[in-house]
Amino acid sequence: MKTLILTLFFVSITTLSFAQGTSYGVRGALNISNLDFDPDATFVNQHRNGFAFAGFADFGISDNFSILTELQYSAEGAKEE
């Protein structure tokens, strides 16, 4: 239920574009990465703060269709104690 509400919220606040054209942009975020093992590992690991950044281009094909391409880097992993 929580996922449905969050999805509806994010869909409702997005802006709609009805023009054919190309738009570009960048994105950035903070990651909190961790590693999980199955079965449990013999060592302890902690989360690792990292970052993610991306560049994207949205190519408008028609009023109802566009192609979005994106190149993203995301730091992942964990710290070992």
| Residue-wise pLDDT tens digits, 17-56 | 555 678 889 999 888 776 666 676 666 667 777 888 999 9
Which pLDDT score, from 0 to 100, does residue 74 have?
86
Radius of gyration of the chain (CA): 19
With beta carbons less than 8 A apart as the criterion, state whether 53 and 12 touch. no
Beta bridge partners of 30: 51
pTM (predicted TM-score): 0.50
Is residue 13 classed as helix, strand or coil in its secondary structure?
A: helix
Q: How many residues does the chain have?
A: 81
- HSE-CB for 6 with a 13 A CA cutoff: 3
Evaluate the CA torsion angle 63, 6, 1, 76 in order and state its sign.
Answer: positive
With beta carbons less than 8 A apart as the criterion, state whether 74 and 48 touch. no
